[in-house]
Structure 1
């Protein structure tokens, strides 16, 4: 398969390009708005052609699939351009910056008859997949409650455009909160939301301080550093979300999903199953898990999906995901 890369930042060079190559795909072209950066990445990976615009790359290459690794606000246009050109698309998270955009991308995928997947690599972890199999086997019963945590003590990225609302669309919610929110919904089989109570705010990001992920420009910090929400679903379940770039907590960071079911519960990182059996309470953990790079598994899964009938499942889920996110942002 011939692959094109749109955007050559760190996620492209660390997670997409090397794993396409390792999987046997042929990365033939990259596009970056800064040509010097595009040329440097092309030299690094032995990629033949570099383009300044998406339109030029799609017009001059016969591509089977494209990875979109650009800032969030550009996802929709780049994804739709690639789909309209007949390419399957793997777009980095978050899918978009609104429910409307996510739906436009879904409709474009259906018109083109091409698979549209999103870069939620936590889904592809070995422990996540084991828990998913347990849930699908009804080991936990009906999941009626979930908690999604994405917290950093002092974790505003000091590089890129993570603090620029115009390009990112949001802060802690769209950058890290979206990972654990999607993961919880994925494990719950993506129930339909019926009510969302949420809040986002700037509390610590707009003033200088200690940065564990580099220095950031507090004077131009235009996104939220905190997002919290409660979501209820059509099937009677509920979910609590807590996301923050900067929180006065003990751990350096906490990324986790906790689930409660009628037959058992689970905490994902590390994977622990909580059950009641034979009159006793048990906490069960795997004795051994063969760990795999989730980015590598994600790329292989995407390439395999491209070889079959087009899949719109992840694109449909993205609409529900952004429906929740939109409601959180709308409440301020």
Structure 2
């Protein structure tokens, strides 16, 4: 058997306990989880006990110094992504960091530069990119079935889905609300399918109309008195190749559906809705709609972690790269900056 990947977990919250650790364990012939760290020691000890992780720390630097690791999962609040990821890369570890990449563009750039400097893999937990729908449509796009994709719409909208746990409503620790938590997934999926074009101009608006008052919570009861994020973000992104994306993301909005996560693409030779997958074309003077009759049922989180493990073991590049993380961070921060200023934000060539 090939040498098992020695993995450490940084951050013992929900995403570590429900996504990273269980899916590492599904690849137990390839992975050994040897340590976990969290500033809240009792949290780290509880997760370690549940999953039989032998070594527990409260300081990530101490863990990185004392334990021989090949890779780490960064599952901290967003504020600490850059600091922890850079430390892990400098310690010689490959890293999968939860989304969004960072709090600022400068942090995302430093993370990418450090990964390159130390020759390590840095990828992000953008799990929708690993869905069967996206995998399938990417093959169609690679065969030029849609032609040039010049327009997209992305929706990540909940009717009353403000998280009632964790630090999701704390702007200081998270950097934002639905845009950087659920909107980022749909935005990344669209950008990936469009070839991750370079952004040119963004225009964004944000609203805080529902989250800062009590109401019905479909995802637990949130702390409305300390609600410091937006409950809705809307925006438009134009790219240097002429393409554009229109985006809507909300934790709380007065809509019919309780939860909508969708990407729509429009190209010269065809279009597609991604969730669920349906392709629209004109062929032989006929308008054709194509729906797959079967897609494998593999869980996207499982596939994300499996791909990360294989990239580490085989020294392959992941499909979600650090450089793409910088572009994603530019767009996110540009939308927030535009919303704050009330005017478009234009990116200039570096």
1:314 aligns with one of 321, 335, 340: 321
Of residues 80, 86, 93 in structure 1, which corresponds to 2:86? 80
1:26 aligned onto 2:39: no
Q: Which residue of 2 aligns with 1:155?
A: 161
Q: Residue 11 of structure 1 aligns with which residue?
A: 15
Partner residue, 1:60: 66
CA displacement, residues 119-157 of structure 1 (integer Å, 9 cap, x when unaligned): 001011111100011111101000010001000000100
Matched, 1:248 2:254: yes
Deviation at 1:307, TM superposition (A): 2.5
Find the aligned partners of 2:186 and 2:306 in 1 and give their Cα distance: 22
Aligned to 1:94: 100
SS at match of 1:298: helix
- Give the aligned CA root-mean-square deviation in angstroms: 1.1
2:273 and 2:115 mapped to 1: Cα distance?
A: 35
- In the alignment, is the contact (CA less than 8 A) between 2:156 and 2:182 conserved in 1? yes
Change in CA separation of 1:130 and 1:310 when aligned onto 2, cut-off 3 Å: closer
8 Å Cα contact 2:202-2:338 kept in structure 1 = no
Q: Quote the Cα distance in structure 1 between the aligned partners of 2:39 and 2:106.
A: 26
In structure 2, what is the Cα distance between the partners aligned to 1:308 and 1:108? 20
Normalising to structure 1: TM-score of the pair?
Answer: 0.98
Structure 1 residue corresponding to 2:332, chosen from 318, 325, 332: 325
Q: Within 1, Cα distance between the matches of 2:303 and 2:315?
A: 20
How far off is 1:58 after superposition? 0.5
Q: Is there any run of 5+ residues in structure 2 with no aligned partner, and where?
A: 340-350
Q: Distance in 2 between matches of 1:309 and 1:218?
A: 46
Q: Using the TM superposition, give the Cα deviation of residue 37 of structure 1 relative to its aligned residue in structure 2, in angstroms.
A: 1.1
Match for 1:234 among 227, 233, 240?
A: 240
Q: Specify every segment of 5 or more residues in structure 1 that has no aligned partner in the other structure, as ranges.
A: none
Contact 1:35 1:51 in 2 (8 A): yes
Of the candidates 1, 6, 12, which is equivalent to residue 2 of structure 1?
A: 6
Deviation of 1:326 after TM superposition, in Å, equals 1.4
Q: CA deviation at 1:311?
A: 3.6
Q: Deviations over 1:192-214 (max 9, x none)?
A: 01111111121111111111101
The 3-state SS of whatever aligns with 1:307 is helix
Distance in 2 (CA, whole Å) between partners of 1:15 and 1:40 is 16
Cα shift at 1:280: 1.5
Partner of 2:54: 48
| Other-structure match for 1:275 | 281
- Contact kept, 8 Å, 1:114 with 1:311, in 2: the verdict is no
User: For 1:184 and 1:275, how far apart are their aligned partners in 2?
Assistant: 19
Q: Is the 8 A contact 1:199 1:329 kept in 2?
A: yes
Q: Matched residue of 1:89: which SS?
A: strand
Superimposed CA distance per residue, residues 171-206 of structure 1 (whole angstroms, 9 cap, x where no aligned partner): 111111111111100110100011111111211111
Q: How many residues align?
A: 332
CA contact (8 A) 1:116 1:311 kept: no
Which whole-Å CA distance do the structure 1 matches of 2:297 and 2:267 have between them?
A: 26
1:259 paired residue number = 265
Query: Aligned equivalents of 2:132 and 2:338: distance in 1?
Result: 36
Q: Secondary structure at the match of 2:321?
A: helix
